[in-house]
Amino acid sequence: MLAGTAAAGTTTALATTVANPAGAEAARREVFAHGVASGDPMPDRVVLWTRVTPTRDATPGSGKGPRVSVQWEVATDRRFRKVVRRGEVVTSKSRDHTVKVDATRLKPARWYYYRFTCKGQHSPVGRTRTAPADNATPANLRFGVVSCANLQAGWFSAYRHLARRDDLHAVIHLGDYLYEYAPGEYGYGQKDVDVRPHVPAREMVALGDYRQRHAQYKQDPDLQDLHARYPFIVTWDDHESTNDAHKDGAENHQPDEGDWAARRARAHRAYDEWMPVRLNDTARLGDGTRLFRELRFGKLAQLSMLDLRTYRDEQVATAAPTPVPSLEAKVSDPDRTIAGRAQLDWLNRSLRRAKPQWKIVGNPVMIAPVTFAQVPTELVDPVNDVTGILPRDGAPYNVDQWDGYTDDRREVFAGIRDRRLRDVVFLTGDIHSGWACDLPLDAATYPASESAGVEFVCTSVTSNNLKDITGAPSRTASLAVEATIMANNRHVKYLNFDDHGFSVFDLTPARAQMDYFVIGDRADPKAGVSWTASWATESGTNRVVPVDAPVGGRHV
């Protein structure tokens, strides 16, 4: 639905008590129960999103409810005395009463306020920001970085603490925005306790299931606050559809769950409806499935967001009977791909033609190679549950990530080397742990050989990490695994298997810095936050170094 679409259709208004402020607030919450959001900022436009409930039976995924018109406004002030853009759109049960508009003709690098109106009720007020002009030279850019937020595994305190900051320009979400599992599956810790059970009370398979699950996540107050505070730049990983997805199926898709292509199409449709994102084209909105895209932030940075689930070949199995030479041949097979030919060509062109200084890649799964000797046997399964990097035979492959598709990685790194690119940074989620790595062109000879760039991996918001799975009372076991991995991978400079939280990524012409913040107990809705580590790469070096304090100070 594009800005300026003519309104059509009317319906009976929800009962309100205008004279009663409490009643009016209750009515507003009924109509706009899922908050507001914005995303994909460009210099002159930004996507605005909400979901309306025009009648009480028009619940998410119900397929019920009338067509209804929704008005939207963008202003330079929170009281909407200086409205600069407005429009009207129509939504209906065909798109689950979600609304997504492209607010255009805005000025670059500006904060704006926006809201929606339906059935006489205003939505909560959202705040958003446009990107700098293409020829601008911003002094810095600062992003919140998050991934892997499983509602059953805990409260979203990481989102709450990010929303309380006033120094960000946007939030980058690197995938696993929501999870597909039924209650009792993949919850909190060893026993999979559900801190908050999923709705519906089953694994999401049908379109209505995906819509209801998106709705449940969007009702979380911390996530609502963060969406209303900053624009999001998102990509999906596997759990937006189902675990370990690939182009022809998924580990968590069974024959009795129907056709895989149909299920994935439902997941993509619900994602398009419920997320403030442009699919298929960065200059228009509409139903689509192409998520990889490019956003530019003046002369300082270009952000290329990847989709590493839709086009990939099936993962190589790593069961014990698989001979190591056979496994090596499979993961390096040039006919196997994680990105798909079209997306890989697009990424190579994007990096080659990039005019901004920093070339940032939003990367759902880890690209740094990981090789190592066997860790203690009793820790193999717990580590695999978090990262998937330890085959039982000790072979050095993380086959759900770029380590399982090494020819694609070789091509990307070779392109960076051949064009002598500098200031390439991969921002990554997925593996519920924090990493800071160089990206060696030849891991065997590193650090004597060159680095193609650096990678910063953020921790999970709530999803189980190594300490959660082992149930260990201290970090002793995790420290042993971390030491083993770093000893066998000299390009891995930082590794934290045991904390949850968020990261803050700050860019200046001189350096790119990733600050790691951790929260307390996920089961505590009031969990606090603390800084734990910072790593940076200085311009032109393609190497990471430790930093003794986060941007803005330790108490930001």
- Residue 474 confidence (pLDDT): 76
Across the range 34-53, mean pLDDT stands at 98
Q: Map tokens 């709530």 to a residue.
A: 462
Distance (Å, whole) CA 148 – CA 174 = 8
pLDDT of residue 471: 81
For residues 349 and 302, give the distance between their C-alpha atoms in angstroms, rounded to a whole number: 13
The class (CATH top level) of 131-547 is alpha beta
Instruction: Tell me the pLDDT of the chain averaged across its residues.
Output: 90
- Mean pLDDT score, 9-26: 48
Reported as a single tens digit per residue, the pLDDT across 376-430 is 555 555 665 665 544 433 454 578 999 999 999 999 999 999 999 999 999 999 9
Whether residue 328 has pLDDT greater than 80: no
List the chain domain ranges.
Answer: 131-547
- CA dist 502 and 493 (Å) reads 19
Looking at residue 22, what is its pLDDT? 65
Q: What pLDDT does 478 receive?
A: 83
pLDDT tens-digit series, residues 282-317: 556 666 789 999 999 999 999 999 999 999 999 997
* Tally of CB atoms within 10 A around 163: 22
Q: Are 253 and 263 in contact (CB under 8 A)?
A: yes
Is 375's pLDDT higher than 70? no
Residue 15 pLDDT: 36
Over its C-alpha atoms, the chain yields an Rg (Å, rounded) of 23
Q: Please state, in angstroms and rounded to a whole number, the distance separating the CA atoms of residues 109 and 106.
A: 9
| 486-509: average pLDDT | 95
Q: What is the mean pLDDT of residues 464-478?
A: 83
CB 231 within 8 A of CB 38: yes
pLDDT of 104 above 50:
yes
Please state, in angstroms and rounded to a whole number, the distance separating the CA atoms of residues 247 and 264: 9
Q: Note the pLDDT of residue 384.
A: 57
Q: Which residue has the tokens 């999401």?
A: 204
